[in-house]
Amino acid sequence: MDAVPEEQSRRAARPKADRRVTVPEFRARKARGEKIVMVTAYDYPSALLAERAGVDCVLVGDSLASVVQGHPTTIPATLEEMIYHVRMVRRGVSRALLMVDLPFGSYQVSTEDAMRSAIRLLKEGGADAVKLEGGAPMVATVRRLTEAGIPAMAHLGLTPQSIHLFGGHKVQGREAAAADQMLADAHALEAAGAFGMLLETIPAALAARITAELTIPTVGIGAGPDCDGQVQVWHDLLGLLPGKTFLHAKRYAELGAAAEAALRAYTDEVRQGAFPTKEQSL
């Protein structure tokens, strides 16, 4: 008779795959020592697959400018485009936390701009939270968003919207002064109300130190294994685009090559008159 309560206790201790990931739940994962899984998505099919796979957070990243639109940087993504894409993703996500990037130019000028942009992304797009890049200059913005009830995730390290300032995709925080500044920025953003911190392309030791000192969860991309979670770009993870991927990306499939092979087979069959057959005809 004692086995039933014991089994119930074990089940209660395990993370529930069907539990909706809210902002408080996202933060609680760190306290429980549970790794957070985040992936980008940009439309309904990708969102639906991510949801079914059980990821904790779906990010509609401004990376769509590069991987969806073909731009060399994330800078061209507009607020209207982010709203358009987050609407599609919202239709496929019901359990995972849905976060969206504030695109370049939509929040840097003033906190009022940031507020207007974030409100539209939540109200018109259906996002649960927003993410914004930058350290100390963004503290007041994070505080204002939080005070208005808009969950904000900070982003430190290689911030792609500042790619021209960095001169390319380069590791940030290597020098002691830069590392100290990033650590100070992380603490300031946490104090301002950020519910999480994305750390991109920084030394693993620095990411581990920031993770250990903050009470909010960190999510890494190119920041080593000690962050509280990891995020990957949809197209990198699935091998959808040709060419070399970033060092921090792992290709779990080669769907681009598989799709190209399928399209070539379709092309050949149509040209040879082998498709459609009676089976595909009414």
Q: How far apart are CA 31 and CA 195, in angstroms?
A: 13
Tokens 């933060």 identify what position? Answer: 27
Query: For residue 19, what pLDDT is reported?
Result: 82
Tokens 């082998």 identify what position? Answer: 274
3-state secondary structure of 230: strand
Counting Cα atoms < 13 Å in the Cβ hemisphere of 170 gives 11
The two three-digit tokens of residue 255, written as one number: 């769907």
Give 149's DSSP letter: T
Closest CA to 133 of 146, 114, 149: 114
Q: Is the sign of the CA dihedral 8, 13, 16, 17 positive or negative?
A: negative
pLDDT by residue for the chain (282 residues), tens only, comes to 444 444 444 444 444 556 899 999 999 999 999 999 999 999 999 999 999 999 999 999 999 999 999 999 999 999 999 999 999 999 999 999 999 999 999 999 999 999 999 999 999 999 999 999 999 999 999 999 999 999 999 999 999 999 999 998 899 999 999 999 999 999 999 999 999 999 999 999 999 999 999 999 999 999 999 999 999 999 999 999 988 777 889 999 999 999 999 999 999 999 999 999 999 999
Q: How far apart are CA 84 and CA 238, in angstroms?
A: 23
Query: For residue 244, what pLDDT is reported?
Result: 73
CB contact set of 64 (below 8 Å; sequence gap of 6+): 40, 42, 77, 81, 82, 85
Query: For residue 248, what pLDDT is reported?
Result: 86
Annotated catalytic residue: which of 133, 190, 200, 213? 200
Query: For residue 7, what pLDDT is reported?
Result: 46
Q: How far apart are the first and last CA of the chain?
A: 61
Q: How far apart are CA 264 and CA 127, in angstroms?
A: 38
> Do residues 223 and 207 touch, judged by C-beta distance below 8 A?
yes
Give 136's DSSP letter: G
Q: How far apart are CA 243 and CA 178, in angstroms?
A: 32
Question: Is 200 considered catalytic here?
Answer: yes
Element holding 256 (H helix, E strand):
helix 255-272
Q: How far apart are CA 182 and CA 14, in angstroms?
A: 34
